[in-house]
Amino acid sequence: MGVALHGLAREGLGRRGDEPSRRVPEPLAGLIVSMERTLATLAGEGGGRNELHALRNYLSDLCVLTEETPRIRRAVDRLVVAGDRLGEAVIAPRGYERRWRTPRLGRARQALASLERTLAGARPSRIAVRLDRDW
């Protein structure tokens, strides 16, 4: 079952072309939405370590639910690096964080969009099948 992520556009986190997201399985689509919200919170004034940990936890869940492929692994790695770079901007000295957060948030969102496209048509992992996850 696929899902379109129309909620992101309503929140000002719009995406270009929803077509790939329509093929992302339901559990993964929920994780993508949660990761997008976490990135936005991380880039905001209240962002910090908790959001970095949440992003990593969502990525962990995603990796457990999907069959591992090199493309998915690379897309996850790109998002991890982009999230870490955004986290560095969050702890930057005052005055610099604004200048650093915006471009790093943009790169993190690009990495997330790339991951979303990569997950279109992804197959469930053996663990997901065994747990009888709604795929």
**What is the per-residue pLDDT across 32-91, written as a single tens digit (0 to 9) for each?**
999 999 999 988 877 788 898 999 999 999 999 899 899 999 999 999 999 999 888 877
Region 7-130: CATH code? 1.20.1440
Q: What does pTM read for this prediction? A: 0.76
Q: Which helix H or strand E contains 47, and what residues bound it? A: none
Contacts of 70 (CB under 8 A, 6+ apart): none
**Domain boundaries in the chain?**
7-130
Contacts of 132 (CB under 8 A, 6+ apart): none
